[in-house]
Structure 1
């Protein structure tokens, strides 16, 4: 039975009650207010729905994650990453990254990043909870990713690339920078062959929630999410 969320409360049912099929569907309804979204991510829950659907909330089992120090870096990616033309920044152009992710999904497979979602995550960004990583090549924005911070965990939402391997460079440099500053866990929600090839692993939901709870006991350093250029290829 799917729980219909109460519009007057931001509480969610226990994640253990999520459906097995479709995997992780927990609740329906509510809204995308900052308070509800923050509360959801703190519990390992995220929204995912199409334009024609009501708001759907998920907590899949297993959960795909990256440990920042365990990424798989192929020889070709390592070579690509060392090109001097790349520049990677944090929180310089959040809205542009989200729109680019939405446009790429429309072009390839249809998008769940609706205008309602874009507005909600831009609000989260202004409140200091949602963040972007931008990849520039010859001073042109060619890739990036965005997600939500929960202490020393980062819950990735989507990525895009307009140049081969740009999103991989975003993930690679962000993960190393995140690790060096105390980051513990990168959530990528549901795994796929591409993510697993980069080093993602599946965790059972209980173990994921335990690690998420530990990670959110401490914040990242105050300066980490301030707009800046992050790690260079020479530091990897």
Structure 2
């Protein structure tokens, strides 16, 4: 019988991920409950491939899913329609990708966007507060799609070493979140970050090249990339579009 670990002390270590509930249970991947969303706890969790996900009225729930949905950046699927969208975006004056220029607006918009197949948000006020504080500490970043001075889409995620853990995305215009994701892929390729964590399987992510890895494979990858030095500069240079075979100069 598997016993769920309750975290009631900041110094209490996260349990071994092999203790997570199995596929035969009602909550496969659930590893622990309780504790706080402190930067120390979040750092520990992500370094072990564990992430928080809970609903209103629940304690903090910590997950280590098996399998794990990931996007190898070398396998990103640039469809013909997305290529056309990106080419049009790049050559249109007033259209640009920014990094970390409006993080609080990005996470706020993501909080109002349910995950695929769900009706409500999982980004509760305490999650917003915790990740905003972690952003100010330099660990969480947003990739933003801007058109004529308006924020129309974006995503945010956690960066440790040469690993990027995607958290959530939103779009207020068609394909605006895909543009931000494509920019993230280009940034990762340019900065030798081979993998973007997607946490859970969705049709949308699968259509863009994401696939499932066994937990053991994912954790082995973390052991390789987390100790490596990550990007020193978090900004988006249009030359990065060349990573997808696109020209990065807008029309005059």
TM range (shorter): over 0.9
Q: Which residue of 2 aligns with 1:6?
A: 8
> Contact conserved, 1:90 with 1:229, CA < 8 A, in 2?
no
Q: Distance in 2 between matches of 1:49 and 1:200?
A: 23
1:197 aligns with 207
* Structure-2 residue corresponding to 1:234: 247
Is 1:42 paired with 2:47?
Answer: yes
Provide TM-score, normalisation by structure 1.
0.94
1:160 maps to what in 2? 170
Q: Given that residues 71 and 210 in structure 2 are in contact (C-alpha distance below 8 angstroms), is that contact kept between their aligned partners in structure 1?
A: yes
Change (3 A) 1:10 1:123: farther
Distance in 2, matches of 1:139 and 1:229, equals: 17
- What is the CA-CA distance between 1:37 and the residue it aligns to? 0.3
Could you list the per-position Cα deviations for residues 46-104 of structure 1 after superposition, in whole angstroms to 9, with x for gaps in the alignment?
00001111110000000000111110111001000111233111111111100010122
> Structure 1's 10 and 89: CA in aligned 2 closer, same or farther, altered over 3 A?
farther
Q: Secondary structure at the match of 1:234?
A: coil
Matches of 2:73 and 2:102 in 1, distance apart? 23
1:93 to 81, 88, 102: 102
Larger radius of gyration: 2
- Unaligned 5+ residue runs, structure 1? none
Q: Is the 8 A contact 1:135 1:167 kept in 2?
A: yes
TM-score by length of 2: 0.88
1:179 and 2:189 correspond: yes
* Structure 2 gaps, min length 5: none
Write the distance in 2 (CA, Å) between the matches of 1:221 and 1:162: 29
Deviation of 1:115 after TM superposition, in Å, equals 0.6
Give the superposed CA RMSD.
1.7
Count of matched residue positions in the alignment of Structure 1 and Structure 2: 233
Matches within 5 A, 1:107-118: 109-118=119-128
